[in-house]
Every structure is written in C-alpha cells, then in structure tokens.
C-alpha cells in the first residue's frame, strides 16, 4: 500500500485514548499477513509477533507505537429551549486554542457528527475575549433536540475529531492523529520489509493504548512480553516557524533518535549503526529527564528493559493539522527493519559491556 493511503486509513480511524478498538482492528488487518500471530490484550493493546530465524530460546525486541489520539469526552448534556448541547472535557493534552470550529464525532449509541461551537468573540464577556475557549463555554452541537440527544448520548461518551488526511506539496501530509499513526505506519513498513529479510530475534510489534494520558499500554506490554530490548516510536516537534532552533529535527530530515535518561546507550548506538549502514541521516533528540513517550514506562517494566526511542519529525503537534513528511515515515520503517535484521547473539552480551565501559566501543567511528 502507498504510504499516503496507509496513513490515511490509520489517521482517519477514530481512536481517542481509552477507546482504541477501531484503530486496533485496522492495525490487526494490516499486520496479520505480515506476522505469525496477533492478539489484543486486556487493556486493548494489539500485539503482533513475528518469530525470528534463530534457535530457541530467541531474544525478543518489542516495538511500541501508541494507537490512541487526543480526544474529548462528554461531561454534561445541557438544554437550551429544547435544543441539546454537549459539554466536554479533554482526553490527553488537548490544546483548547484549536477546538473552536472543528468537526467532531460523539460515539454514543450511534456515531453522531457535530461541530464545536461557541459564541462569537464580540458577544463574550470582555475578559474572555481573545482567549482560548474554556470547556465552560464550548459545546458540541450535533443538531438534535435535547430529548433525542439524551436517548443517543450519555455522560462519558467518547468524542473524536474528524479531519481527512490531505497532501501538501513536497511529500508533506497533514491531518489529525499523525501523532502517533505516523509511527504505526512506520512499523507497518518495517514489518513489510522484514518479509524479505532474515532476522534471528523475535519481533513483537505493539500498538499501545492510552499513551496520551498515562502510558497504560507501555506499562502493561512491557510486563506481558518481557522483551530483551524495546524501542518506542513516536513523534517529535519539528523545526518550523516559532518552533525551537534545534538543527536536528527537520521535517524531511529523517527520523530522530532519542537520547537521555530513559534511553539505553547500546540501543541508541544500535539504531545509529543501523542508520549508518543505510547511509540514512538521522538526528538526535536530547531529553535529559525523560517522560513523554512509551519509552518512559517500558524502561522500568519487569526488571528493567533496555529501551530506545525513535521519533518522526512533526509540525503543529496536538492540533488537527499535524504535518509530517512521508519520506521520514518510510525512513523510520526502513531503519527499524535494519535494526532488527542486525540484532544477533552478541548483542545482549555486548549491551552490558556498553554500559560499563562506553569508551571501549569497538567500532565507534568518532
């Protein structure tokens, strides 16, 4: 499948944190032909296992890309002269400045499309003008009278944003939920490439749940699969107008490798070496204190998992016009496949060495 079509399918499927079943179904359909088995666990994460060619017992690498996206939830149904309106709250780090004027779907007894509306600025109390809408004065209006709305919708129903994926110029694409469906697309590309590539390790690719709220799927998948190595795949703020001056995170500049407290240096180096082998340019995303991706929860699962982090550059994160470069997504997929194909039976013994004597690395080209 063309990367754009793959991404379109993934991003347009609704999957607010806590209600990812529709995305899991799509991902399972995409991954099942590429792996040996798939399973959805108790919290809703989808795990796909592709067995390696090495002798048993084989080590396992876990790839974690979260399938949830930001969303909203109904907190109250309010009545205005017989017309019903939905009051909302956020699921994950929703930026309220972007809500007014969006189209959204409430997943009640049936899916109802509505608009996020509010009073025009000129009619708001003076001190509220020019501000982001608070959840106290924003409503989702699906056009139904209160009585009918109450039959179809209840407090606690999930709300997802509705936004088609579109092409911009120059291989750029824009839409909602590229955080983190771009990474699910990259993992899909990785699994496709592994069809023609020998790898000795077992690969468990997991589409995790509730990353945006609490890393639930990463905690539980790290425990359940007890991998020898884990790599989280997520998005990073790309350089753009007003964004930071990092020279390493350029849209179209290739994936970034996370570096910091939760990253095992040997996994970082393995990713870097894989990029070198592909002659692929990669950046570095320094994050001294960690948190913010599934890597945070994976690192401390069980007795501790050596964890790496790969990030796809993204502009306008957590909005409905998240923008990525298709090349970066494809490169991320190729890099993951290369990493996996290069894992051998010396990797784990060397990994301990790496931590103890980082200056003794055999093939460091610096």
Partner 1 sequence: MNDLIRSLVEAFGPSGFEDAVRDLIRPLVEPHADEVSVDAMGNLIVRKRAAGENPLKVMIAAHMDEIGVMATHVTAEGFLRFTNIGGVGPHTLLGGRVRFADGTLGVIGADRNDDRSAIHPLSKHFIDVGATSRDDCPVRVGDAAHFERPFVAQGHRLTAKSMDDRIGCVVAIEALRRLPATVPHDLYFVFSVQEEVGTRGAEAAANRILPDVGIALDVTLTGDVPEARSMSVRLGDGPAIKVRDSGMIAHTGLVRLMRQRAEEAGITHQMEVLDGGSTDARPMQVAGPGCAAGCISIPCRYVHTPSETVDARDVEGAVQLLVAVLSNPIEL
Dist CA 323 CA 164 (whole Å): 12
Nearest to 234 by CA among 128, 329, 166: 329
Of the candidates 22, 25, 40, 43, which one interacts with partner 1 according to CB under 8 A? 43
Under a CB-based contact definition with an 8 Å cutoff, are residues 268 and 340 in contact?
no
**Residues in 76-95 at the binding interface with partner 1, rule: CB under 8 A:** 76-77, 87, 89, 91
Question: Does the protein bind partner 1 through residue 219 (CB under 8 A)?
Answer: yes
Q: Which stretch binds partner 1 (CB under 8 A): 14-22, 59-67, 173-181, 329-337?
A: 14-22
Q: How far is the CB of 83 from partner 1 (least distance, A)?
A: 18
Question: Does the protein bind partner 1 through residue 154 (CB under 8 A)?
Answer: yes
> What stretches of the chain adopt beta strand conformation (E)?
37-40, 46-50, 60-66, 71-80, 83-91, 103-107, 111-117, 139-141, 158-161, 166-167, 172-175, 202-208, 229-237, 256-260, 283-287, 307-314, 322-325
Q: Which stretch binds partner 1 (CB under 8 A): 96-104, 217-225, 317-325, 328-336?
A: 217-225
Dist CA 97 CA 319 (whole Å): 9
Of the candidates 220, 299, 307, 319, which one interacts with partner 1 according to CB under 8 A? 220
Q: How far is the CB of 37 from partner 1 (least distance, A)?
A: 16
Q: How far is the CB of 90 from partner 1 (least distance, A)?
A: 9
Q: How far is the CB of 354 from partner 1 (least distance, A)?
A: 29
Question: Does the protein bind partner 1 through residue 99 (CB under 8 A)?
Answer: no
SS3 94: coil
CB count in 10 Å sphere of residue 365: 7
158-161 and 283-287 as β-strands: parallel, antiparallel, unpaired? Answer: unpaired
Question: Does the protein bind partner 1 through residue 227 (CB under 8 A)?
Answer: no
Q: Toward partner 1, which CB reaches closer, 4 or 135? A: 135
Q: How far is the CB of 225 from partner 1 (least distance, A)?
A: 9
Nearest to 230 by CA among 244, 214, 217, 249: 217
Q: How far is the CB of 138 from partner 1 (least distance, A)?
A: 11
Of the candidates 170, 223, 291, 352, which one interacts with partner 1 according to CB under 8 A? 223
- DSSP class of residue 358 equals G
Of the candidates 214, 278, 321, 348, which one interacts with partner 1 according to CB under 8 A? 214
Q: Toward partner 1, which CB reaches closer, 193 or 225? A: 225
Contacts from 22-25 at CB under 8 Å and sequence distance 24+?
23/67, 23/68, 23/181, 23/184, 23/207, 24/67, 24/207
Of the candidates 53, 111, 155, 243, which one interacts with partner 1 according to CB under 8 A? 155
Q: Which stretch binds partner 1 (CB under 8 A): 221-229, 249-257, 285-293, 319-327?
A: 221-229
Q: Which stretch binds partner 1 (CB under 8 A): 94-102, 193-201, 211-219, 334-342?
A: 211-219
User: What residues contact 78, with CB distance under 8 A and at least 6 apart?
Assistant: 84, 85, 86, 87, 139
Phi first, then psi, for residue 141 (nearest 5°) are -115, 115
Dist CA 241 CA 63 (whole Å): 32
Q: Toward partner 1, which CB reaches closer, 17 or 287? A: 17
307-314 and 256-260 as β-strands: parallel, antiparallel, unpaired? Answer: antiparallel
Q: How far is the CB of 107 from partner 1 (least distance, A)?
A: 10
Question: Does the protein bind partner 1 through residue 129 (CB under 8 A)?
Answer: no
Binding site residues, partner 1, CB under 8 A? 17-19, 21, 41-45, 73-77, 87, 89, 91, 135-136, 154-156, 210, 213-214, 216-217, 219-221, 223-224
């Amino acid at each position: 499948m063309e990367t754009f079509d793959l991404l379109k399918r993934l991003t347009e499927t609704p999957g607010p944190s806590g209600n990812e079943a529709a995305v899991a179904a799509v991902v399972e359909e995409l991954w099942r032909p590429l792996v040996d088995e798939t399973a959805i666990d108790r919290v809703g994460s989808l795990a796909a296992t592709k067995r390696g060619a090495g002798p048993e017992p084989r080590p396992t690498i876990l790839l974690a890309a979260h399938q949830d996206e930001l969303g909203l939830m109904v907190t109250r149904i309010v009545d205005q002269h017989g017309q019903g309106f939905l009051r909302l709250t956020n699921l994950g780090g929703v930026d309220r400045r972007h809500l007014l004027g969006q189209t959204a779907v409430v997943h009640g007894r049936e899916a109802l499309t509505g608009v996020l509306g509010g009073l025009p600025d000129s009619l708001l109390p003076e001190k509220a003008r020019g501000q982001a809408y608070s959840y106290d004065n924003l409503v989702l209006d699906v056009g139904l009278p209160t009585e009918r709305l109450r039959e179809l919708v209840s407090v606690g129903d999930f709300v997802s944003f509705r936004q088609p994926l579109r092409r911009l110029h120059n291989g750029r694409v824009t839409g909602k939920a590229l955080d983190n469906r771009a990474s699910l697309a990259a993992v899909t590309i990785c699994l496709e490439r592994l069809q023609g590539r020998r790898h000795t390790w077992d690969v468990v690719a997991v589409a995790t749940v509730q990353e945006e709220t609490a890393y639930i799927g990463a905690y539980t998948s790290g425990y359940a699969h007890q991998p020898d190595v884990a790599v989280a795949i997520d998005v990073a703020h790309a350089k753009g107008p007003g964004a930071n001056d990092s020279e390493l995170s350029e849209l179209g500049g290739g994936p970034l490798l996370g570096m910091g407290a939760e990253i095992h240096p040997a996994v970082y180096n393995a990713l870097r070496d894989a990029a070198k082998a592909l002659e692929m340019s990669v950046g570095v995303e320094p994050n001294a204190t960690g948190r913010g991706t599934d890597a945070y929860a994976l690192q401390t699962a069980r007795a501790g998992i050596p964890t790496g982090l790969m990030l796809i550059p993204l502009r306008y994160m957590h909005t409905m016009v998240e923008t990525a470069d298709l090349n970066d997504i494809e490169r991320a997929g190729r890099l993951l496949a290369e990493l996996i194909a290069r894992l051998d039976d010396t990797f784990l013994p060397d990994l301990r060495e790496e931590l103890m004597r980082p200056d003794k690395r055999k093939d460091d080209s610096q």
